[in-house]
Structure 1
Amino acid sequence: MTPFVFNTSKSIQFGAGQLNKLGELARAQIGTRVMLITDPGMMRTGIIERALSVLEASGVSVEMFSDVQADPPEDVILAAVDQAKAASVEGIIGLGGGSSLDVAKLVSVLVLGRETLKTMYGVGKAKGPRLPLILVPTTAGTGSEVTPISIVTTGTNEKMGVVSPVILPDVALLDPELTLGLPPHITAATGIDAMVHAIEAYASASANNNPLSRMLAKQALTLMGRSVLKAVHERSDIAARSDMLLGSMLAGQAFANSPVAAVHALAYPLGGHFHIPHGLSNALVLPHVLRFNAATAPQAYAELAPYAFPELEKYQGQERAAAFCDRLAELSAACGLQQNLRAMNIPEDFLPRLASDAMNQTRLLVNNPREVTEADALAIYRAAY
Structure 2
Amino acid sequence: MNLDFRSCPRVICEAGSLSQIGALMRGLGGSRVLLVTDPGIVACGFAEQAVSALADIGIATSTFDRVAADPPITVVNDAVECARSFRADAIMGLGGGSSLDTAKVVALAAATGQSVEDMIGTDKAVGQRLPLIQIPTTAGTGSEVTWVSVLTSENHEKMAVYAPQLLPDVALLDAELTVGMPRKITAATALDAMVHAIEAATSRTRKNPVSDGLADKALALLGQNLPRVLDAPSDLAAREAVLLGATLAGMAFINASVGSIHALSYPLSSHFQVPHGHGNALVAAPVLRFNLPSAEAEYARLARVLLPGKTFTDDFEAANSLILAIESMFVSSGLETRLSQLGISAEAVPMMASEVTTGLTRLQANNPRDMSFADVVSLYEEVL
TM-score norm. by structure 2 comes to 0.98
Task: Give the aligned partner of residue 340 of structure 1.
Answer: 338
Which letter does structure 2 place at the counterpart of 1:341? L
Which letter does structure 2 place at the counterpart of 1:272? S
- Structure 1 residue matching 2:30: 3-state secondary structure: coil
Whether 1:366 and 2:365 are equivalent positions in the alignment is yes
Aligned with 1:291 (options 253, 275, 289): 289
Task: Give the aligned partner of residue 240 of structure 1.
Answer: 238
**1-structure distance, mates of 2:353, 2:310:** 32
**2-structure distance, mates of 1:313, 1:114:** 57
Q: Structure 2 vs 1, CA of residues 313 and 59 (structure 1 numbering), >3 Å: closer, same or farther?
A: farther
Q: Could you tell me the percent identity over the aligned residues?
A: 44
Which letter does structure 2 place at the counterpart of 1:91? A
Asked whether the 8 Å contact 1:222–1:308 carries over to 2, the reply is yes
Asked whether the 8 Å contact 2:218–2:248 carries over to 1, the reply is yes
- Structure 1 residue matching 2:63: 3-state secondary structure: strand
Asked whether the 8 Å contact 1:285–1:380 carries over to 2, the reply is yes
**1-structure distance, mates of 2:190, 2:343:** 23
Whether 1:61 and 2:29 are equivalent positions in the alignment is no
Structure 1 position 53, deviation (Å): 1.1
Task: Give the aligned partner of residue 320 of structure 1.
Answer: 318
Which letter does structure 1 place at the counterpart of 2:182? P
Which letter does structure 2 place at the counterpart of 1:47? F
Structure 1 position 337, deviation (Å): 1.5
Structure 1 position 123, deviation (Å): 1.7
User: Which aligned pairs between 1:151-190 and structure 2 lie closer than 5 A?
Assistant: 151-190=150-189
Asked whether the 8 Å contact 1:108–1:132 carries over to 2, the reply is yes
Structure 1 position 311, deviation (Å): 5.3
- Structure 1 residue matching 2:111: 3-state secondary structure: coil
Which letter does structure 2 place at the counterpart of 1:163? Y
Whether 1:112 and 2:111 are equivalent positions in the alignment is yes
Which letter does structure 2 place at the counterpart of 1:270? L
- Structure 2 residue matching 1:135: 3-state secondary structure: strand
Aligned with 1:256 (options 250, 254, 265): 254
- Structure 1 residue matching 2:294: 3-state secondary structure: coil
Please list the CA deviations of residues 113-171 of structure 1 after superposition, one character each: whole Å capped at 9, or x if unmatched.
44222221122222331111110011000011111110000123210111111100011
Point out the more displaced range, 373-382 or 193-202.
373-382
**2-structure distance, mates of 1:301, 1:350:** 31
**1-structure distance, mates of 2:184, 2:74:** 28
TM-score norm. by structure 1 comes to 0.97
Task: Give the aligned partner of residue 308 of structure 2.
Answer: 310
Asked whether the 8 Å contact 1:55–1:61 carries over to 2, the reply is yes
- Structure 1 residue matching 2:158: 3-state secondary structure: strand
Which letter does structure 2 place at the counterpart of 1:149? V
User: Which aligned pairs between 1:1-385 and structure 2 lie closer than 5 A?
Assistant: 2-206=1-205, 208-310=206-308, 312-359=310-357, 360-385=359-384
**1-structure distance, mates of 2:127, 2:223:** 37
**2-structure distance, mates of 1:232, 1:30:** 40
Structure 1 position 13, deviation (Å): 1.0
Please list the CA deviations of residues 45-94 of structure 1 after superposition, one character each: whole Å capped at 9, or x if unmatched.
11111111111001111011000000000110000011111111101000
Which letter does structure 2 place at the counterpart of 1:254? A
- Structure 2 residue matching 1:296: 3-state secondary structure: helix
Which letter does structure 1 place at the counterpart of 2:106? V
Structure 1 position 230, deviation (Å): 1.6
Please list the CA deviations of residues 150-196 of structure 1 after superposition, one character each: whole Å capped at 9, or x if unmatched.
00001232101111111000111111111111110100000100000
Asked whether the 8 Å contact 2:30–2:131 carries over to 1, the reply is no
Structure 1 position 233, deviation (Å): 2.7
Aligned residues: 383
Asked whether the 8 Å contact 2:112–2:129 carries over to 1, the reply is no
Q: Structure 2 vs 1, CA of residues 124 and 313 (structure 1 numbering), >3 Å: closer, same or farther?
A: farther
Asked whether the 8 Å contact 1:201–1:260 carries over to 2, the reply is yes
Segments of 5+ residues of structure 2 without an aligned counterpart are none
